[in-house]
Structure formats: structure tokens, C-alpha cells
Amino acid sequence: MTALTITTPDDWHLHLRDGQALSDTVAHTARQFARAIVMPNLKPPVTTVELAAAYRQRILDAVPNGLTFEPLMSMYLTDNTTPAVVEAAAASGFVHGFKLYPAGATTNSDAGVTDIRNIRDSLKAMSDCGLVFQVHGEVTDADVDIFDREAVFIERILQPIRDSLPQLKIVLEHITTAQAVDFVRSAGTKTAATITPQHIRFNRNELFRGGLRPHAWCLPILKAESHREAVAAAAISGDPSFFLGTDSAPHKRTDKESDCGCAGMFSAATAIELYAQSFEAAGALDRLEDFASHFGPDFYGLPRNTSQLTLERREQTVPDSYPLSGGEVVPMLAGQSLPFVASRG
């Protein structure tokens, strides 16, 4: 095979940041993806329809000439999110979900939900309105091992929500464990999950390969090989409950390589090539289009894209860094080779 043409994919979990960073980050995604669910964990967070509309316009203003890209907005759940806010979001036409950040779980999550009981009414409103509950699925209890936080969250918090609100659409984001795979598979058609390129490819050894590697530090943290195998198998399975979400998170090199480095891996610039490499290695390249281009819009109730993207079999070397807000960001697989080059038609 010298080239593979697929329906233009979408990214169902993406961080673009704001301000000067948009001129760097939006271009990377728009070169590969037609649409993306944009995460709302800015400072201050995107908690109202008005803030979401303004952020959406800033993203559109940053799309390079000659490219088309549609940001699909998400809003940030707090203890104070009301059903009226949910209803306004649903009426906007451009907000597609609300993101749960358990307070303290990850980057810019300090304003997140402190107790799931505080958003029960809002979850019911989301179920009634058809908006998607987008979940960072980790507990933050100090006595829970960091490698167990996802599994404990599913058992203690997510399963009871699933049982009590059977019509609520739930996406468990960036899954990392066999428990998450099992939960999604057993939870019915109103439940789905996004899968990142790093959680398909890496186990937790990557954090320590040749020394401490801050650019492999992400949340949820990389897990044991048995969990990586389960997540990779779910991605290539052809099960429509699992679809592409990069969780690409741009952080400056200086912020990652510090005494308290921030979590996140940047993959947006070569995302579809990263997935294609993993799918081919598993003998499942023929299933990439469904995972990347079909299952996400089907779950969100949006039309599939009509444009196409071509993956040409041509080696490229991932740059050591890309510009970011006057500094630089180190990408996933920096300096390494990929066997494909993608171009939108």
C-alpha cells in the first residue's frame, strides 16, 4: 500500500489553550482534522455560553487561510453549574457537552467539581437536553494510588451515575485501564470512550526510559502493559463505543522540564500518522477510518465529514520541537520516524 484515503477525521478531545498559543496550536489540528471537541479548562474556565462563544470565535480567527476547521465547544462543570446553564448551552447549537474535572485532578482543574452530588440536577438536565457528559475519570483522594485512580472512579462514581441516568450520553475520556474498557463495553450504547495515541502505544515504562522523561508525563498516567494492551485492543476492535481523542496538550518545554512539571503530551501535529502507525502494527489499518472518522460523529449525533484525508506512505521525522507562545513544545516521538504523511484533500 502506497497511500490510504479516508474520510477526514475529527478529534473528540483536544486542548488548544488561548491567546498567543492559538496561532500555533489551531494550525496543527486544522491540517489533519475537520472538527474537534475543544476542552474548556482555560484560566478562567469556560463556564458560560457567552465565554464559549467568545472562545470559539478566537479559535476560528486563528484558522489559517485555505483550511476549514470547526471547533465543537465544551463547557466546564463546576459545583455551581445549574440546569438553566445546561439548557442555555443546549440551545446555543455550538456547545456539545460539559466536561467534568474532579477538582485537582489535572491541568487547570482547581475550579472543578468537589462532590458529584453537587451536579446531580445538571446531569439530569444534560440527559434531558441530549448533551454529552465528558468525563475525566479519576478520583483525587490522597489515599488512592495514582495508578488506581481511574478504576476507583469508575466503581465509586461513574457506575452509579450510569445506573441512575440511563439516557445520559457519557464519554469516558482518554481511557487507560482494562477496567475502563470493560465498563464501556458493558454500559450500553449511551456510553463511549476516547483513546489517545500515547495510551495505545506506551506503558508506564516510558516514564523512566533512560531516566525520568517529563514529556511522557500525562494524566491519566500511563499504566502497566496489561492495561495498554486492553486499550489498544479496544481501539482497533471495530467497536463503535471507542473513537479518536488525542488529548493533545501543549505545554512549553520549560513548564514540562521543571521541578513540578505539568502533565500532558503534545501530539496534534502528527496525530493521525501516530494512530495509523499503531493500527498498521496491529494489522488493523483497515479499521482506522471507523475509529478516526465515523464512530465519533455517530455518537455525538453529527454528520460524518464528506471531505477526505490521504495518508501517503512516506517517511517523516517528527521535529524535536514546535513553536509555542514564544517558546517551544516537545511533541510525542520527537526526533523519531513515522511511516506516513497526512494531507487533507
Catalytic residue flag (residue 247): yes
Strand-pairing partners, residue 7, are 308
Please report the pLDDT score of residue 231 as a whole number. 98
136-175 pLDDT per residue, tens: 999 999 999 999 999 999 999 999 999 999 999 999 999 9
Q: Which three cell numbers stand for residue 261?
A: 512539571
Q: How far apart are CA 281 and CA 272, in angstroms?
A: 14
CATH code (residue 150): 3.20.20.140
Binding-site annotation, residues for Zn(2+): 13, 15, 99, 136, 174, 247
Say if CB 214 and CB 256 are below 8 A apart.
Answer: yes
- Determine which one of 24, 239, 247, 290 is catalytic: 247
Binding-site annotation, residues for substrate: 15-17, 41, 136, 219, 251, 263
Helix, strand or coil, per DSSP, at residue 255: helix
**Proportion of the chain above pLDDT 90, given as a percent:** 95
Smallest Cα–Cα separation from 145: which of 205, 79, 232, 224? 224
Counting the structural domains of the chain, the total is 1
Please report the pLDDT score of residue 108 as a whole number. 67
- Tell me how far apart the 2 most distant CA atoms of the chain are, in Å: 53
What pTM was computed for the model?
0.97
**Paired sense of beta strands 308-317 and 70-76, if any:** unpaired
Helix, strand, coil percentages (3-state) for the chain, rounded to 5, are 40, 20, 40
59-95 pLDDT per residue, tens: 999 999 999 999 999 999 999 999 999 999 999 999 9
Q: How far apart are the first and last CA of the chain?
A: 19
- H helices of 165-316, in order, are 178-186, 197-201, 225-235, 253-256, 271-281, 288-289, 295-300
DSSP state letters, 22-91: HHHHHHHHHTT-SEEEEP---SS---SHHHHHHHHHHHHHTSPTT---EEEEEEE--TT--HHHHHHHHH
Domain of residue 295, residue span: 3-344
- H helices of 104-176, in order, are 120-129, 149-153, 159-164
305-333 pLDDT per residue, tens: 999 999 999 999 999 999 999 999 999 99
Binding-site annotation, residues: 13, 15-17, 41, 99, 136, 174, 219, 247, 251, 263
Q: How far apart are CA 241 and CA 53, in angstroms?
A: 29
Q: How far apart are CA 261 and CA 179, in angstroms?
A: 28
